[in-house]
Structures are given as structure tokens and as C-alpha cells.
Amino acid sequence: MPPIREQAVERIRRDHEYMIELAQRIRDLCTQVKDRDSCNACQPSRRQVCHGDIDHLLRTFVEATQKHHVIESLLMENGVPQAHRLAHRRAHSSLTSQIKATRVLFSADGNCLMAIRGIDDVIAGMVAHFEEYDRQLEGYLGVPT
């Protein structure tokens, strides 16, 4: 396999680790997520810090995910069956929509706990996507998984 494809697959894997890390950082921001329904019980100064942290991490997460999807789409242009490309791109779109929906909901009501709970679903969707689509992509690129 050409070294460029090996490097590309390594990049994909690093991106996956980074995206999961970002999602976990969002999820780990609040230790009260199981005990509360909203941030109203927290001190205002704490809510402000949490809100800023989650807003920043969600923005970073959306950008990293979109950038990653573009890179994967470019890699799929050569040597990847059209059926896989189309399904993979639809899966990207669905995952991006799920992440953006979490961000939009957070922006609308500012409830950090709802954003954190939404991230759990996003993590599950990402892991399933990596297993279902990205392992196949690595195979098409000629890298044993």
C-alpha cells in the first residue's frame, strides 16, 4: 500500500481518538448529571463556567467532526465502491446532524445537563460508525484492521 494511504489511515484513527476524547471531556464536565434535570441547582458562577466550557467543547467537536468527514470523503474518491461511499456519506450526515442538534438544543436553552446527556448518544453513534463504516474504509484503502 502506498505510504500516503497508510498515513491517511493513521490520521483517521487519530481523529477518531480525538473526537471521542472531546465527547468524553464534554460528558465529564458535570458530576451532577445523574442527580439533576437542569443546571438551576448549581451556583450561578459554576453554571457560567460550565456553560462556557461546554459551548467551547461543542464548537470544537462540531468542527473536528466536520473536518474529519471531509477528509474521509476525499479518501473515498478512489478505490472505494460507490455503494460504500454513498452509505458512508449518509452516515456522516446523520452523525453530524445528531451532533449539531445537541449543540442547537444547548444554545437554545443553555441546559448543560441536556447537552451532556445528548453526548452519550453521540458517542454511541460514533463508535457504531467507526465499526460499521470506517473499518470497511480502511480495508478498501488496503490497511489490515
Predicted confidence (pLDDT) per residue in 89-131, tens digit: 999 999 988 888 888 888 888 878 888 888 888 999 999 999 9
Q: How far apart are the first and last CA of the chain?
A: 14
Reported pTM: 0.84
Domains (range + CATH), the chain: 3-140 (1.20.120.340)
Helix 82-109 with 112-129: angle, nearest 10 deg:
170
pLDDT of the residue at 63:
92
